[in-house]
Structure 1
C-alpha cells in the first residue's frame, strides 16, 4: 500500500532506468528547500552509493472529523490531508495528514496536544516508513536513475526487498589519550593493514619486547594532534570501511575525536563521501544520536549484552580474558591512565603495541562471538537500522505496522492513562530440601507459543470485542481475540519457521536473533512505552501461562510424581531417590502433557495447539534452599548437578555464585560447599579450615570487591554504596578526580572503617564482616536443611597478635 506519491525531480531522462541492489547501511531525511529527501547510504557489489528518494512527506494520521481543527489556519502548502480507506482502533475513519517539512509536523503534534486531538504514527520517521511499508529491512532493490554528473548518486522512485550477498569491510578502532583527553594515538585492525597513527616521530615500524617476544607494529607518525586527525581522515577516505568496531567506541572514542577536532576548529570528515562526524543532539554523544553517514558502528559492550552474554565486568580486559584467554598489553589495566602517559613519553613502541592489541582484542571478540553476523541478522529480521541496538518497541512496530495497514487499521496513540499492570510470570511455592533425581521440563518459547495458540493480537482484540463469541477466543480480564486473520500469531509463525530453518542450516546468529525477538514480543505488549500496550493483551499472555503451568503440575502429579517447583515456563519434577531411567520417564511425561494439550484445545476451543513441553535436564542432585532465617522455600534460587557425559556440572541459579556483588572468596567457597554436599563429603571441617585461613590473612587476595561507577561520584544522591564511599576515599587519597568519574573501576576491601580503596587502607581488614556477611549467608541454607549448627570460633582466637 502506497501512503505517499514518489517522483524523481532532476532525473536524467536520457539515461535508461535501472535496478540497483545493495545493503542499506544508514538512513536519513534532509530538507532541500521545500523538498524532503530521503538519503540511504548503501553498499553494492561495486562500492558505496548514495540513494535519494524525493518528495517523501513527513506524515501522521488523524480522525477524519478532526482534520479541520488540526489544519485551521495552516497554509495548504505547509500541510494538507487526504482521505484513506483506513480506520483507527476506535473504528473511526482516518485521513493522512502530510507536512512539507518535519518542523511542520512537530508543530502539528504540539497543536494536537493543545486541542486534545489524537495524531497517530507521528513518530515514524519518513526514511523508516518508506522502507517498512514496503517490507524492506536490510537488503533492497531500488528502481531509478544514476546521476550523470555524479555516478555515486542514484535517484530512486521505487524500492522492494531483495536478497543480496554483499561483503562488508569491518575495522576495529581504538584511541589512546592523556588523562585530560589530548590524543596520543589511534589504532586500526581488521579488514585493513593494521597500524597505529601516533603523535611523534621515528621509524615506520616499532618493535616492542614483551613476554620474551618481539612484536612489530607499523606506525604512521604525526607531527601533532591536528596532523593525527588529518591522517585519520585520509585513512578513512582510502580504506573506506563499512563497519567500525570498538569498546565504548561511540561514547568514548568517537566522542573524543569529535571534541578534539572541535577544539582545533576542524570538522572531522570520516563519514562516507566526505560527510563529517556529527551528533543529532548537541552534547548527547550516544549511539542513537551518532550521525556518521555510510558507516555502521558496533560497540562490543552493547552487542554482547544484546546477544545476552553475561560477564561480571564488561571491561575489555575482563571479557577478553574470559572469551579469548588473554588481556590487555599493559601491566595495570585498572590504572592505565598514568601508565599510558608514561609509555607515550618513554616507550612509544610499547604504547603502539598496547593500542593495536586493544584493537585486535575487540576484533577477536567479535569474531569469536560472531556478533557482526548477529547484528546483520537482527537488522534483516526487524527492519531496524543495521547497528541499532535495543529498540524492541521500534522493532515490533516495524514488523507489525505494514500488516496492520493492509488490514485496514492505523496504530493507536499512546494511552494517556494506562490500565493496570499485568501480572508477571508464574512462580510456584517451592518445597525446600536436598533431592536426588529432579527433572526440569520446559515449555519451548512459552509466551510466543501462547500468542500463536490463543490468537493474541492487538488488531484481533479490537475485532474480537465486537464479534460473536463463537468467532473469537476468550482471553483474560475481559479480552476476546478474533479468529479472523490475526497478525501477531502469523508473525510468530514466520519467526518460528525462520528459527527452525536457521537451526537446520547451523546459523547460530540468526537462531539467536529470532529467539530474542520472539521472546521480546510479550515485553513490548506489556510496556507502557508501546502504543499497542493494553493490559488485556499482556494479561492474556501471562495469566494463560499461569493456567498452563498449574494444569501441567496437576497432570504430572496425577501420574504419581511430585512437582517441587515451577517458574514461568519450567516445571521441576522429583522422581524419588531410587528412580531408574530418568530420561525415559521425563520423555514419557512430556509426551503425555503435549498430547493432552493438543486434545483439550482442539475439543474445547477449536484451536490448533503450538504449546510444546520439552525435556530439558535431569539433575542427579538438586538443592532448593529456604529463605534466610525462615522455613519457607525460596524462589528463583537453586543449585543442581547433572552429568554431561564428561564431568559432573554444577548449575547455580540466583545464588551468590552468579552475582558480582559477592567476593571471589564467597563464590569459590560456595562452589566447593555444594560440590562437597553432593559428593557427601565433610562440610564442617572444610568451613572450619576456611574460617581459620580467613582470619589468618591467607585469603586476603580473594576479598577484594571490584565495581565500576555508573556515574560521577558527585552525582550519586546516596553515598551509602560501598564502592561510592571507596571511590570518594580514593579521590581524596590520590588527589586524582578521574578516579571518581563515570566508568572508573573501583577495587576495595571492607576494613574496620568500612569500605576502603585497595592500596589506601586506614584500618585492618574486617574479617568478621567477610565471615558473617559473606560466608555465613552461603552456609546457612545448607546447615538448615542438614539440621546442623556451626559455631564460629571467633576472630580473637585466631588472629596472631
Structure 2
C-alpha cells in the first residue's frame, strides 16, 4: 500500500546490492528520517556508438536510440544498466571500440534528482516497511516542506602521548553531555564514564541512534574528530554504524589534497572552518580560539601549542575542568554557527542548486545541476571528457597605476561584471557549439551570432546561461528588497562561480574560448570605460578586474555629485556601444561605489613604476588596506599596526618621521617583543618542502623533530597548519611560549618589517629609512 509523505533530503547514496543498483535517498520527514528507494533504479550514459554496435541481448542492459545530440551534432544512443558493474563494463566496451561516452560519471542518485528539478524539499509516495523506516517503489517530486534541524556540536579530546580517545563532547538545543574514558569515581549529570575506549564508542553509537541528530557540526570536524573516531573504531573492531538505522558511515580522504569527506546515511557533517570560507568570512587565523574571540568575544578555556599536556593532566587530576574544556569547545562552535547562520547558508545553497547537503564546495556540481536539465530540454547531452590541453584564460584586467598620495579618489565598480558579460554577449557552452555548426552550414544565416574572442562565436538563439543568470539576478534583487542577506549572498557566489567553472578543466564544459571570451571582454570594457571617462575630464589612476579608481580635474565641484553624473554617462555609453556592436541589450552596469578622501598608491618596491593590487585609503573615516602589510597575516602584528598608525598620521596631514623614529627606539628597548611573532600557514605537508625551506617551514621542522625525539605524534606532517616563529640573533626559532621571546634580533625586524613600510612613504617627506637610521646612530 502506497503512503505519501513530505520531507527534506538529508543525504543520497548509490551502491550495488545483490548485483542490482540500490539508490537510496534519506529524507527527514515530520515523523523522522526515513530511507526512500525510488523505482526504476538504473545507471545511465550516452554514446555516439551506432546502436547496432552495442550489445542487444545482455541481461540487465538496455540500449536505445535517443533524440539527443552530442556537441558534434550527432544523435547519441542511450545505455541503461541495472547494476554499477554492468554500467562500467558497457563504458569499457564502448571506449575499446573507439567511441565516446557522455555523462557516464553522473551518479544515479544525482541524475534522478537533477532531472526532476529536485533540490532539498520533496514529496514522495512509496510502500513502507513494517517499521515505516524504508519506503520502496517510491516516486519523488519537488516539495516545499522546511525542516527544523536537530543539530549536534561535536568535539573530541585525545591523548597525544598515547594516540587514544579521551572523550566525546556533545552540545545541542536540549542536551549537553560528555562521554569520558576514566578509571576514577566520578558522578555528574553532564558525564557518562567508561573504563575503556571501546565501551565509550559503543555507548556513543547507541546514543546517536537513540537521539538521531540530523547534522553534526564542529571545528575541523571531518579531518580530525570524525576521522579519529573512525580510526579508533577500525582499530578496536567496531562497526562505525553512525547512520540512520545503524548504517555505516564512510570517512575518506582525497589522495593528494589532505582533505577528508564524510558520507553518513541520513545525517550530515558540516565543518565550521569550511563554511566560514564559503560565507566569505576572513580571519587572521581560523583556529577556534581566534574566531570565537572575534565573533563571540569568548574563547577556549585552554589554548596554545602545548595545551595537549594540560589536557592530559586535567584528564588525570581534574575531571570537572577537563569536561568543562571539552564542552566549552562544543558550545563555541554552536554559538558561531547560530550567530552567523551557517546552516541556513548551506541549506540555501542546496535549495538553489540541488548540491548534496554535505557538499560545502562543489561549484562544478552546482553548475551542472543547474545547466544539465536545461541542456537536455534543448535536446543535447554534455560533452565527453577530453584530453585537450588546458589553456588558461587571461586573468582580470589590471592597469598600471599612478603612484602617490591622492585626494578625492572616486571608485567605480561594474556590478557582477562576469555574469553580466555572459548575459549580454550570450556566452554559453551550447551557444558556442551551435554557432560553430551554423557557420559551417552556408545556408544558415549568421545574423544571430555574437562574436567572442579567440575566434569564438555564440548563437543567441541557443544560449542557456544568459537566461539562467537572468533568473538568478532577478531572484537576488528580490532577496535584497526583502533584506534576505543570506539568499542574496548565496545567489551572488553561485553567479560569480560560473566564470571559474567554465575556465577550469575539472569541468566537462571547459573550453578556452568560453573563459577567454569573458575575461578578454572584461579587459575591453575597462579600457573603453577608461577612454570614455578621460574624454569627460576624469583621470583613471588605477584599474583592477571590475573597478576603476578616478581623480577629477575639477576640484571645486562636489565629488559625490560628479561621481553620480559620470556613472550615468558611462552607463549610457555602454548601452549604445552594445547596440552598435551587435544589437545587444546591455546588462552591464557601472556603479559609483565610494570616495576615498585620502588615497595612497605605492610603487613597486625598489622601482618607480606604480604597484598593482596594493593600496591604502580613507573613506568616511575608515582606513582600508588592500594587499599592503596591514592586510597580510604573514607580517608581524607590530608591522601591521605600524602601517595602520603611519597612514592615520599621513592621512591626517601629520609628519610621520617622529613616529617612525620613536617606533624604532621602542623596538630596540624591547617594548614590542610580544608583537614580533610571525605567523604563516603551511600549504602542504612538511616533508614535501625539499628544495626551498622558508622560515616557517624551518620552524615547523624544529617542532616536529623535538616531538619525534619525545616519542610524540608529529604536528606538521600533514601540512595545512599555521606555524608561529620569531627571529632570535641565532636565527629562526619556533614560538611556543613567552620563553622564546629572548635575545630577539631587533635589527632583523627593523630591516624586514619596519623599513619596507616606512620607505614606501618617506620619499614624499624628502627622506628615507637609511637617512633616519644614520641619524639615530650618530645620536648614539
Name 1:159's counterpart in structure 2.
140
Name 2:760's counterpart in structure 1.
781
Contact 1:435–1:622 (8 Å) recurs in 2 = yes
Name 2:6's counterpart in structure 1.
21
Distance between the aligned counterparts of 2:716 and 2:524, measured in 1? Answer: 50
Q: Tell me whether 1:682 sits opposite 2:661 in the alignment.
A: no
Contact 2:540–2:551 (8 Å) recurs in 1 = yes
Distance between the aligned counterparts of 1:663 and 1:455, measured in 2? Answer: 47
* CA deviation vs aligned residue, 1:142-201 (integer Å, no higher than 9, x gap): 233323x23111124432211112211111000111003211111111223112121234
Aligned residue runs from structure 1 range 339-488, under 5 A: 339-418=310-389, 420-467=391-438, 468-488=445-465
- The verdict on how the C-alpha distance between 1:382 and 1:409 changes in structure 2, with shifts beyond 3 A counting, is same
Contact 1:456–1:537 (8 Å) recurs in 2 = yes
Q: Tell me whether 1:637 sits opposite 2:637 in the alignment.
A: no
Name 1:591's counterpart in structure 2.
568
- The verdict on how the C-alpha distance between 1:413 and 1:765 changes in structure 2, with shifts beyond 3 A counting, is same
Contact 1:564–1:572 (8 Å) recurs in 2 = yes
One of 498, 507, 512 as aligned partner of 1:521: 498
Bigger drift between 537-546 and 352-361 goes to: 537-546
Name 1:571's counterpart in structure 2.
548
- The verdict on how the C-alpha distance between 1:452 and 1:796 changes in structure 2, with shifts beyond 3 A counting, is closer
Name 2:726's counterpart in structure 1.
749
Distance between the aligned counterparts of 1:114 and 1:321, measured in 2? Answer: 59
Bigger drift between 255-264 and 461-470 goes to: 461-470
One of 651, 659, 679 as aligned partner of 2:624: 651
Q: Tell me whether 1:142 sits opposite 2:113 in the alignment.
A: no
Name 1:691's counterpart in structure 2.
664
The aligned length equals 766
Bigger drift between 50-59 and 387-396 goes to: 50-59
Contact 2:42–2:108 (8 Å) recurs in 1 = yes
Displacement after TM superposition at 1:430 (Å): 0.9
Distance between the aligned counterparts of 1:635 and 1:281, measured in 2? Answer: 38
Name 1:9's counterpart in structure 2.
none
Distance between the aligned counterparts of 1:581 and 1:41, measured in 2? Answer: 61
Distance between the aligned counterparts of 1:640 and 1:499, measured in 2? Answer: 30
Name 2:107's counterpart in structure 1.
125
SS at match of 2:408: strand
Displacement after TM superposition at 1:494 (Å): 1.1
Displacement after TM superposition at 1:460 (Å): 0.9
Name 1:43's counterpart in structure 2.
28
* CA deviation vs aligned residue, 1:467-499 (integer Å, no higher than 9, x gap): 322112111121111121421111101111221
Distance between the aligned counterparts of 1:283 and 1:239, measured in 2? Answer: 34
Displacement after TM superposition at 1:262 (Å): 1.8
- The verdict on how the C-alpha distance between 1:351 and 1:707 changes in structure 2, with shifts beyond 3 A counting, is farther
Distance between the aligned counterparts of 1:513 and 1:473, measured in 2? Answer: 30
Distance between the aligned counterparts of 2:642 and 2:627, measured in 1? Answer: 16
Distance between the aligned counterparts of 1:59 and 1:492, measured in 2? Answer: 29
SS at match of 1:42: strand
* CA deviation vs aligned residue, 1:532-579 (integer Å, no higher than 9, x gap): 111111111111111111111111111111111111111111125834
Distance between the aligned counterparts of 1:290 and 1:109, measured in 2? Answer: 28
Q: Tell me whether 1:236 sits opposite 2:202 in the alignment.
A: no
* CA deviation vs aligned residue, 1:658-698 (integer Å, no higher than 9, x gap): 11111111101011111111011121111111111112222
Name 2:222's counterpart in structure 1.
250
SS at match of 1:469: coil
Contact 1:64–1:83 (8 Å) recurs in 2 = no
Name 2:699's counterpart in structure 1.
726
Bigger drift between 777-786 and 305-314 goes to: 777-786
* CA deviation vs aligned residue, 1:311-368 (integer Å, no higher than 9, x gap): 11111111111111111011x3332211110110111111100100000111111112
Name 2:179's counterpart in structure 1.
197
Distance between the aligned counterparts of 1:234 and 1:156, measured in 2? Answer: 30
One of 765, 770, 775 as aligned partner of 2:744: 765
Name 2:82's counterpart in structure 1.
100
* CA deviation vs aligned residue, 1:278-307 (integer Å, no higher than 9, x gap): 336799998764231000110001111111
Displacement after TM superposition at 1:712 (Å): 4.6
Distance between the aligned counterparts of 1:772 and 1:641, measured in 2? Answer: 27
SS at match of 2:102: coil
Displacement after TM superposition at 1:417 (Å): 1.8
Name 1:613's counterpart in structure 2.
590
Name 1:6's counterpart in structure 2.
none
Bigger drift between 223-232 and 676-685 goes to: 223-232
Contact 1:188–1:195 (8 Å) recurs in 2 = yes
Distance between the aligned counterparts of 2:197 and 2:390, measured in 1? Answer: 56
Distance between the aligned counterparts of 2:611 and 2:681, measured in 1? Answer: 30
Distance between the aligned counterparts of 1:725 and 1:419, measured in 2? Answer: 35
Distance between the aligned counterparts of 1:251 and 1:313, measured in 2? Answer: 17
TM-score of the aligned structures, taking structure 1 as reference length: 0.91
Distance between the aligned counterparts of 1:617 and 1:566, measured in 2? Answer: 15
One of 267, 277, 282 as aligned partner of 1:310: 282
Name 1:208's counterpart in structure 2.
none
**RMSD of aligned C-alpha atoms?**
2.5
TM-score of the aligned structures, taking structure 2 as reference length: 0.94
One of 155, 169, 180 as aligned partner of 2:150: 169
Gaps of 5+ in 1: 1-14, 206-216
* CA deviation vs aligned residue, 1:579-623 (integer Å, no higher than 9, x gap): 442222111111111122223323542222111111111100011
